[in-house]
Amino acid sequence: MIHTLTMPKWGLSMTEGRIDIWLKQPGDRVEKGEAVLDVETDKISSSVEAPFSGVLRRVLALSDETLPVGALLGVVVEGEASDAEIDAVIEGFQAGFVSNAAEAETAGPSAQKVEVGGRLLRYLDLGEGGTPLVLVHGFGGDLNNWLFNQPALAAERRVIALDLPGHGESGKTLRSGEAAELSEAVLGLLDHLQLDRVHLAGHSMGGLVALTVAEQAPARVVSLTLIASAGLGADINGDYLQGFADANNRNALKPQLVQLFSDPALVTRQMLEDMLKFKRLEGVDQALRQLNGVLFDGGRQKVDVRHVVGRQPSLVIWGSDDAIIPANHAQGLEAQVEILPGQGHMVQLEAAEQVNQLMLAFLKRH
């Protein structure tokens, strides 16, 4: 069988990607899920993983070449195929691709906005069927924190990622800044979408929000996935939180964001610029300071909801080298605990494939 490997679309705004390096050469065997090449976008670099096993027979994009989303990168053959057959597939693909490229701007998933409880919430709704999964990002993040997870998870069910109040493109004004205010926003979105029962996954502060939802409305939460979650212990890197809240230029922000990743090279100028764009929006500074003050004042987490874990099937994922919230908060939880060695706080971005596999398997069981 002849498979085409194409330029992926990561997140909402990616329209093209630059080939960084091919990790496999023509003739190499590739396994499903294995990294074949590295692609760089204006937001982030990541590996393109083979969606199928086989032999890499053709490489059609050169290093440093920039190609639109959907463009043909290579051909992987499962079993046998002649060069003529491969050529025919390539020719057919390229003939059809022109029109796709023209639509690339308008096609693809797009986020929606809805007013919930007098406040605008943005969410991205991908996939169909099954018990839906809702993804909740952390402090200072947005739904793009699930860039490398949501599409993969959505292959098997409906997956909704939202921007919490004060974040992304949702309304910026907070009332109390308590976890309950954020969890009520999540519940409000579930009501709007008429979702009675969902799987919930939260990263960092989003984990605390997911736990708070589970506490407030246990019947609506089928399972919990907690990634580097807040709410499970007192420790938190207060210097990071303060530094992040205070940073108003590239040079002040960089040392903060570097702490989130195991590979500091991931913190590109573009990532910094994007984060600054968010932080410059009116109301964001106020919202972040409010949340920091209410939830994590003085570098100690003020809310402990460990007791909630275990009421639903729970998966806890942590990077062993998390510099923001220590992985030892996972100890003793009534949950499936997975510590990923060498990983940092943004483990779902940096070790996306591993996290996706763990979540897919966990969700399939529950």
Partner 1 sequence: MARKISYQQAINEALAQEMRRDQSVFIIGQDVSGGTGSPGEQDAWGGVLGVTKGLYPEFPERVLDAPLSEVGYVGMAVGAATRGMRPVCELMFVDFIGCCLDQLLNQAAKFRYMFGGKTTTPLVIRAMYGAGLRAAAQHSQMLTSMWTHIPGLKVVCPATPYDAKGMLIQAIRDNDPVIFLEHKMLYSLQGEVPEELYTVPFGEANFVREGRDVTLVTYGRMVHIALEAAANLARQDIDCEVLDLRTTSPLDEDSILESVEKTGRLVVIDESNPRCSIATDISALVAQRAFAALRAPIEMVTAPHTPVPFSDALEDLYIPDAAKIEAAVLKIADKRNAA
Applying CB under 8 A, the residues found at the interface with partner 1 are 12-13, 64, 66, 110-111, 169, 172, 248-251, 268-270, 273, 277, 280-283
CB of 53 to partner 1, least distance (A): 33
Using DSSP's 3-state secondary structure scheme, residue 291 falls into helix
Taking the least distance from each CB to partner 1, the nearer of 48 and 272 is 272
CB of 281 to partner 1, least distance (A): 5
**Dist CA 186 CA 214 (whole Å):** 11
**Dist CA 126 CA 159 (whole Å):** 5
Taking the least distance from each CB to partner 1, the nearer of 101 and 120 is 120
CB of 275 to partner 1, least distance (A): 12
Alpha-carbon distances of 307 from 20, 212, 214, 276, 333, rounded to whole Å: 46, 11, 11, 36, 9
CB of 219 to partner 1, least distance (A): 35
CB of 250 to partner 1, least distance (A): 7
Taking the least distance from each CB to partner 1, the nearer of 50 and 266 is 266
Closest by Cα among 219, 284, 274, 230 to 250? 274
Taking the least distance from each CB to partner 1, the nearer of 15 and 242 is 15
Using DSSP's 3-state secondary structure scheme, residue 358 falls into helix
277, 202 Cβ separation under 8 angstroms: no
Alpha-carbon distances of 152 from 58, 157, 357, rounded to whole Å: 25, 10, 9
**Dist CA 48 CA 350 (whole Å):** 13
Taking the least distance from each CB to partner 1, the nearer of 29 and 277 is 277
Taking the least distance from each CB to partner 1, the nearer of 120 and 222 is 120
**Dist CA 228 CA 351 (whole Å):** 13
Taking the least distance from each CB to partner 1, the nearer of 110 and 194 is 110
CB of 40 to partner 1, least distance (A): 10
CB of 36 to partner 1, least distance (A): 22
Strands 314-319 and 336-340: parallel
Which stretches within 33-171 are classed as H helix? 83-103, 150-153
Closest by Cα among 76, 59, 168 to 122? 168
Q: Whose structure tokens read 């938190």?
A: 236
